A and B are shown apart, each in its own frame.
Chain A
Amino acid sequence: EDKVVQSPLSLVVHEGDTVTLNCSYEVTNFRSLLWYKQEKKAPTFLFMLTSSGIEKKSGRLSSILDKKELSSILNITATQTGDSAIYLCAALPHGGSQGNLIFGKGTKLSVKP
Chain B
Amino acid sequence: DVKVTQSSRYLVKRTGEKVFLECVQDMDHENMFWYRQDPGLGLRLIYFSYDVKMKEKGDIPEGYSVSREKKERFSLILESASTNQTSMYLCASSPGGGNSPLHFGNGTRLTVT
Residues of A that sit less than 8 Å from B by CB: 31-32, 34, 36, 41-45, 48, 88, 90, 92, 95-99, 101, 103-106
Contact = CB atoms under 8 A, between A and B. Distances in A.
B104 A97 contact: no
A105 B105 contact: no
A42 B98 contact: no
A43 B94 CA distance: 14
Contacts, number: 61
Nearest to B93: A98
Given A105-B41, A105-B42, A106-B42, A99 B104 contact: no
Given A42-B4, A98-B31, A99-B58, A48 B101 contact: yes
Interface in B80-113: 90, 92, 94, 97-107
Given A95-B98, A101-B102, 12 more contacts: A32-B99, A41-B106, A43-B102, A44-B104, A45-B101, A45-B103, A98-B98, A99-B33, A99-B56, A103-B44, A105-B40, A106-B42
Contact of A103 (B43, B56, B99): B43
B45 interface: yes
Interface residues of B, number: 27
A41 B42 contact: no
B74 interface: no
Given A88-B42, A88-B43, A104-B42, A99 B106 contact: no
A41 B107 contact: yes
Nearest to A99: B48
Given A42-B104, A42-B107, A105-B40, A99 B4 contact: no
Interface in B23-53: 31, 33, 40-45, 48, 50
Contacts of A88: 42-43
Contacts of A32: 99
Given A88-B42, A92-B98, A105-B41, A98 B33 contact: yes
